[in-house]
Structure 1
Amino acid sequence: MPTEPLRCAGALIVDDGVELAPHRFTGLVAPAVERAFVAGMFAGHDGGGAELSQRYGGPTATGFLVEFRTRLAVPGGTVDRAGFAAVNRYRDPATCQRALDKQIAHGMIARQPDGGLTATERGVDFLAELYQVHAEVTEELWAGHDDRVHRLVEAYGRVLAYAVLLAGEPEAEPGPAFAAMAPPYEPDGIPSGVLLLNRLGTLRYHRADAHAAAWTAAGHTATSVGELPDGPERRAIELETDRRAAGPYSTLTADERLGVLADLAALPG
């Protein structure tokens, strides 16, 4: 790993002559974000989340609450039709609606007159307990890495805030999945592990929107892009995804981008 990175014209230049601009960094950091996030969510499932879900009716009652937890845990938080559809863009719409209807019947989610979704009182209680489960499991999963977790929480706090700011610009392209999830619910006293887990999770939807915009521009649908074989066309879509997803990471300095990669790589899970 280079020891003397230099900042040049807004890009990261490392001492072996390889440039790591924000759009290239975005492509490198995406799998690291995915690994850390998935590790935290699996730990939550195995460390009490599955048992918690069963107490409230099982996955058929809680599935979308878990998925949309960063917004539905917010007092009065709502996910609109567009956001729900965008988050589920790779799933069969009819299947999703049947699953949603079951969770509404379980009294966990309420549908508003305009089609928006909110958590019921019972749903809010479930989410409060879920946040506690995630607090316990991330503390155990990332034990001994407090400084690393704190650095990542701070860095991703700035990245996320900038992503929200960029999404509000008049010339911004629609990002309905990210809009449905951001900003994540962060009540006072929330532990660093939960902050990191939810900030990473929310940023995943920023990239998901970028990916959808890239394959749409290339003439694909959610179905056809999933069937696209490895090759130049898929690679071009991935590169365009990196370009569209890069904006929020420009708020980090060159050294901070390298530090984020190193810290994510070193997290257990």
Structure 2
Amino acid sequence: MSYAGRIRPVLDRVYVGARSSGRDRVLAVYAEHDLRPGFESSFYFGLLARPMPAESFAAATTYSGADMATQVEQGTAVVDADGTWRLTDRGRAVALAVQRALGEAAAERWNPGPPFDSVLPGPAALPRLADLVGRLLAAGQATGGPAFRALTPVYEPVDASPAVRLTTRLGALRHHRADAHRAAWQAAGLTLEQLRALPAGPERQAIEDETNRRDEPIYQVLDQEERIELLAGLGALP
């Protein structure tokens, strides 16, 4: 299996786990602003840095759908005649609060405390892991698809904690593979509906293999030891 294939479930576990830990905090952010959750919660790391062009928005929302009526009604986002989406001042305030809430929740999740603090990496590992993922994001500028290009470089406050930096960067990194997966099944001549109906077997495995092939180049910026360090470090986080 390629390195991209090996690290994919680790990235997903760490990032999805962090978001799950932060769910109540994020909901509290929206309640405080008297809003319903919107796309700024999923794409804050890019939207805080730049608008999202129509092509990138369509790519990033391929699997989830893209009904933006709520965002427009709530005044958190606007769209121009070209289909480019950008946050309003209200949307930006919410996105910043979401970023902070997810980082705080992740910091708590990744700080195992006694009796586990001597065997799990915890906070001490976060700066190094954030640095490695940051190098991946820079390398991905040459290989990423439309969603990844719109969501990187990521926005990070100057005083961002290591947990905020790592959650922010992991959120963006996952879109490199999402772009690769989308390109793989489209190159196979499938629609999204056909992909979802595809049973386990050689055809589905071929798409997974092609996804790994397209995703693999981003990891070449790291040497073998650094790739092991990243895989092991993320895998050891609580």
- Tell me if TM exceeds 0.5: yes
Equivalent residue, structure 2, for 1:222: 192
Cα distance per residue 1:229-265 (max 9 Å; x no partner) = 1111111110110000011100111111111111111
| 2:51 aligned with 1:81 | no
Q: In the alignment, which of 74, 81, 97 is matched to residue 106 of structure 1?
A: 74
Q: In the alignment, which of 229, 233, 252 is matched to residue 222 of structure 2?
A: 252
Q: Distance in 2 between matches of 1:132 and 1:203?
A: 18
Deviation of residue 34 (structure 1)? 0.3
RMSD: 1.5
Q: What is the letter of the counterpart of residue 40 of structure 2?
A: L
**Contact map agreement 1:149 1:193 (CA 8 A) in 2:** yes
Structure (1 or 2) with the larger CA radius of gyration: 1
Cα distance per residue 1:95-131 (max 9 Å; x no partner) = x23xx12211111111123221111111111122222
Equivalent residue, structure 2, for 1:203: 173
Equivalent residue, structure 2, for 1:179: 149
Equivalent residue, structure 2, for 1:52: 29
Q: Distance in 2 between matches of 1:211 and 1:129?
A: 31
Equivalent residue, structure 2, for 1:263: 233
Q: Distance in 1 between matches of 2:165 and 2:129?
A: 10
Equivalent residue, structure 2, for 1:130: 98
**Mapping for residues 14-25 of structure 1, pairs under 5 Å:** 24-25=2-3
Which segments of 5 or more consecutive residues in structure 2 lack a partner in the other structure? 112-116
Is the partner of 1:246 in helix, strand or coil? helix
Deviation of residue 194 (structure 1)? 1.2
Which segments of 5 or more consecutive residues in structure 1 lack a partner in the other structure? 1-19, 168-174
Is the partner of 2:159 in helix, strand or coil? coil
Q: In the alignment, which of 4, 8, 15 is matched to residue 37 of structure 1?
A: 15
Q: Distance in 1 between matches of 2:199 and 2:69?
A: 35
Equivalent residue, structure 1, for 2:114: none
Q: Distance in 1 between matches of 2:64 and 2:104?
A: 31
**Contact map agreement 2:52 2:150 (CA 8 A) in 1:** yes
Query: What is the total number of aligned residue pairs between the two structures?
Result: 229
> 1:27–1:192: structure 2 CA closer, same or farther, 3 Å change rule?
same
Equivalent residue, structure 1, for 2:84: 116
Percent identity (aligned):
36
**Contact map agreement 1:83 1:177 (CA 8 A) in 2:** yes
